[in-house]
Amino acid sequence: MGIIVQKFGGTSVADAEKILAAARKAIRVQQQGHQVVMVVSAMGKNTDVLVDLAGQISSNPSAREMDMLLSTGEQVSVALMAMAIHELGSKAVSLTGGQIGIKTDSSHTKARIQSISTDRMRKHLEDGNIVIAAGFQGIDDDFNITTLGRGGSDTTAVALAAVLRADACQIYTDVDGVFTTDPRIVAEARKMNQVSHDEILELASLGAGVMHSRSIEFGKKFGVPIHVCNSASFSDDPGTVIGLHPESMDRPVSGAALTKSEAWITISHVPDQPGTMETVFSKLGKVNVAVDMIVQNIGEGGKAEISFTVLEADLPATLKAAQEAAKELGGAEVTHQADVSKVSIVGLGMATQTGVADRMFRALADEGINILAITTSQIKISALVRREQAMQALRAVHSEFELEKPPGDRAAFGDKHTAASPPSPIDIVARLQRMEDLTIENIQLDETQGRITLSQVPDKPGISAEVFEAVAAEDIMVDMIVQGTGRDGQANLSFTVPKQSVAAAAEIVSKVAEQLECGPVTTAAQIAILSVFGIGIRTHTGVGVRTFQALSQAGINVEMVGTSEMRVNVVVAADKGPAGLKALQTAFSDVIG
């Protein structure tokens, strides 16, 4: 039989009794005929205690010494776990990351795995041992101990499962699995039986926070299904399997998430010409701020407005970088709004269905919630709202899509278009070198779409609901949506539809625009959408910068942008599509998988 990797998080090894309980689980699996590799985190809140201790000694401890310190938490756990297994009469060997041969780069406190040797683990397994691996740590070329970032034991577990070609990777934690949204905010949230890597990636950094994002990236890259289950559950509750498939391809939405502490920054009076995006985002890249929702509004007199969100904690650094960019762009102005939150819905099914966005916007409008900004990716729609309304917004969308019910019990809705096939895992063997590097799966050019833009959209609830309901009523499939409220409190709302539907959509929208007292509607009969997609797009900051840089060097103006965990989508003029594609292929040639 094959290898099973079992990971136990801090709460699952918090005291002697829990350590013994985990040991029994592992022994049981071994007795069923499997080889078992356990990955263990530091006991309870031990890592926090160590961080706190360091803080009492120094306000700025060296990152190398931080890793030396924090790695001890896991070393305590693995030794105790081995003793527990011995006590229960079975064979076990504990190993640190270095002893296993988990090689990382030298970025202390946030190191990335480069390679893992399996020899030593296999030898111990063959000898009948349960191998107990310290999570969260590795070693660099100079034998310095490194750590993978908080929560990194998940990543260790999935990485070991990948290199060992394990049959299963089980993550034991203190929750029953992955929920449709945060159950602390929405009591009705439901445990999903199954969810795709892609969906969870979009949900994870959106605040679902169940697992370390990088561990899911690994799972996707190497095709490892990840089984999340509760270590305290007596019944063998099956938990949630994070794998290739969603719970249902027929229901458009799988989960909803909230990122509470966001801030919205606007740079106005920016010249509408190639290179401005690059100027802004290279400045932000330099201070290592991850930018999320990006919206560009084209205003009057050839001036544009670029707005985006960052985590509120990054606001001071962001404002400084934005000011510098504004200066370079000559007379641009920076304004911002804190106290905003992002509500998102995610689902593989939405890539192929109409009538999803309008339902989300209607649910928000019915609660009197104003949307400051909208961005979309193929499988996600995000709306930025005032923070005081954020929880209400999350509850509203969760209930709109009936996420509290199993997918089969939800009302069918919308029109299904051709189903997208699930992504194929990338060949594992080819990827064992530099395993955590950025991988661009592909760069695509979509020339099937046209654009509709509504200008001077008043800053009040319900407008986007009206617009997209009218469009959905005609069964027109909307792809990208971008809306952002600018400095004067007015917004542009742009979206793309198949080019043969541009005229029909424009007619509908013009009527709605008049009723709602918006400004003129403009259209582009055809545009080109360039997509860069792959694994680690967001965690490797710089993909956006590289994209904008490549386009700017090719003299191509960016009209619309949409980013997500896995994609950067950029709209450019129709005749610039092929040149843009070439520029991006060249720019990413070293990392295309």
The least CB distance from residue 409 to ligand ASP, in Å, is 35
Q: Which residues lie near ligand ASP (CB under 6 A)?
A: 9-10, 41-42, 47, 73, 135-136, 150-154
Q: Which residues on neighbouring strands pair with residue 376, listed in sequence order?
A: 381
Q: Residue 152 touches which of ligand ASP, Mg ion, none (CB < 5 to 8 A by kind)?
A: ligand ASP
**DSSP structural state of residue 357:** H
Provide the H-helix boundaries in 223-291.
276-286
Beta strands across the sheet bearing 567-573: 439-446, 527-535, 567-573, 560-563
The least CB distance from residue 41 to Mg ion, in Å, is 5
| Contact between 135 and Mg ion per CB under 5 A | no
Phi and psi (nearest 5°) for 87?
-60, -35
Among residues 297, 332, 310, the alpha carbon closest in space to that of 485 is found at 297
Which residue number, 61 or 209, has a Cβ lying nearer to Mg ion? 209
The least CB distance from residue 583 to ligand ASP, in Å, is 40
Which residue number, 48 or 474, has a Cβ lying nearer to ligand ASP? 48
Which residue number, 152 or 580, has a Cβ lying nearer to ligand ASP? 152
Q: Which residues on neighbouring strands pair with residue 342, listed in sequence order?
A: 259, 384
Which residue number, 211 or 472, has a Cβ lying nearer to Mg ion? 211
**Sign, Cα dihedral of 300, 510, 342, 385:** positive
User: Per CB under 5 A, which region of 9-17, 107-115, 272-280, 352-360 contacts Mg ion?
Assistant: 9-17
Give the tokens for residue 167. Answer: 């049959």
The least CB distance from residue 102 to Mg ion, in Å, is 17
The least CB distance from residue 314 to ligand ASP, in Å, is 20
Phi and psi (nearest 5°) for 66?
-60, -45
Which residue number, 110 or 386, has a Cβ lying nearer to ligand ASP? 110
Q: How far apart are CA 373 and CA 337, in angstroms?
A: 12
**Angle made by CA atoms 204, 208, 213, in degrees to the nearest 5:** 25
The least CB distance from residue 577 to Mg ion, in Å, is 44
The least CB distance from residue 212 to ligand ASP, in Å, is 7
Q: Residue 349 touches which of ligand ASP, Mg ion, none (CB < 5 to 8 A by kind)?
A: none
User: Per CB under 5 A, which region of 146-154, 160-168, 471-479, 522-530 contacts Mg ion?
Assistant: 146-154
In this structure, which amino acid lies at residue 122? R
The least CB distance from residue 51 to ligand ASP, in Å, is 9
User: Per CB under 5 A, which region of 8-16, 256-264, 287-295, 557-565 contacts Mg ion?
Assistant: 8-16
With contact defined as beta carbons under 8 Å apart, do 508 and 474 qualify? yes
The least CB distance from residue 230 to ligand ASP, in Å, is 16
Q: Residue 42 touches which of Mg ion, ligand ASP, none (CB < 5 to 8 A by kind)?
A: ligand ASP
Q: How far apart are CA 220 and CA 426, in angstroms?
A: 8
**Length of the chain, in residues:** 593
Q: Is 575 exposed, middle or buried, given 0-12, 13-18 or 19+ CB atoms closer than 10 A?
A: exposed
Q: How far apart are CA 383 and CA 406, in angstroms?
A: 25
**Angle made by CA atoms 75, 80, 86, in degrees to the nearest 5:** 130
The residue sitting closest to Mg ion, measured at its beta carbon, is 9
Which residue number, 49 or 473, has a Cβ lying nearer to Mg ion? 49
Q: Residue 135 touches which of ligand ASP, Mg ion, none (CB < 5 to 8 A by kind)?
A: ligand ASP
Q: Residue 47 touches which of ligand ASP, Mg ion, none (CB < 5 to 8 A by kind)?
A: ligand ASP
The least CB distance from residue 135 to Mg ion, in Å, is 8
With contact defined as beta carbons under 8 Å apart, do 525 and 450 qualify? yes
Q: Residue 580 touches which of Mg ion, ligand ASP, none (CB < 5 to 8 A by kind)?
A: none
Among residues 530, 186, 508, 482, the alpha carbon closest in space to that of 309 is found at 482
Which residue number, 26 or 171, has a Cβ lying nearer to ligand ASP? 171
Measured between alpha carbons, how far is residue 361 from residues 117, 286, 340, 356, 372 in Å? 50, 35, 17, 9, 12
Which residue number, 155 or 464, has a Cβ lying nearer to ligand ASP? 155
Which residue number, 9 or 580, has a Cβ lying nearer to Mg ion? 9
Q: How far apart are CA 74 and CA 150, in angstroms?
A: 12
Which residue number, 230 or 399, has a Cβ lying nearer to ligand ASP? 230
SS (H, E, C) 94-139: EECHHHHCEEECCCCCCCCEEEECCHHHHHHHHCCCEEEEECCEEE
The least CB distance from residue 170 to ligand ASP, in Å, is 15
Which residue number, 49 or 88, has a Cβ lying nearer to ligand ASP? 49
With contact defined as beta carbons under 8 Å apart, do 346 and 296 qualify? no
Number of Cβ within a 10 Å radius of residue 64? 15
Phi and psi (nearest 5°) for 313?
-60, -25
The least CB distance from residue 157 to Mg ion, in Å, is 11
Which residue number, 211 or 390, has a Cβ lying nearer to Mg ion? 211
Which residue number, 80 or 518, has a Cβ lying nearer to ligand ASP? 80
Q: Scan residues 13-52 and list those touching Mg ion (CB under 5 A).
A: 41
The least CB distance from residue 318 to ligand ASP, in Å, is 26
Q: Which of 5, 6, 7, 9 binds Mg ion (CB under 5 A)?
A: 9
User: Per CB under 5 A, which region of 150-158, 163-171, 239-247, 313-321 contacts Mg ion?
Assistant: 150-158
Q: Residue 73 touches which of ligand ASP, Mg ion, none (CB < 5 to 8 A by kind)?
A: ligand ASP
Q: How far apart are CA 245 and CA 423, in angstroms?
A: 9
Among residues 212, 213, 209, the alpha carbon closest in space to that of 184 is found at 209
In this structure, which amino acid lies at residue 186? V
Can you give the binding site for Mg ion, defined by CB under 5 A?
Answer: 9, 41, 151
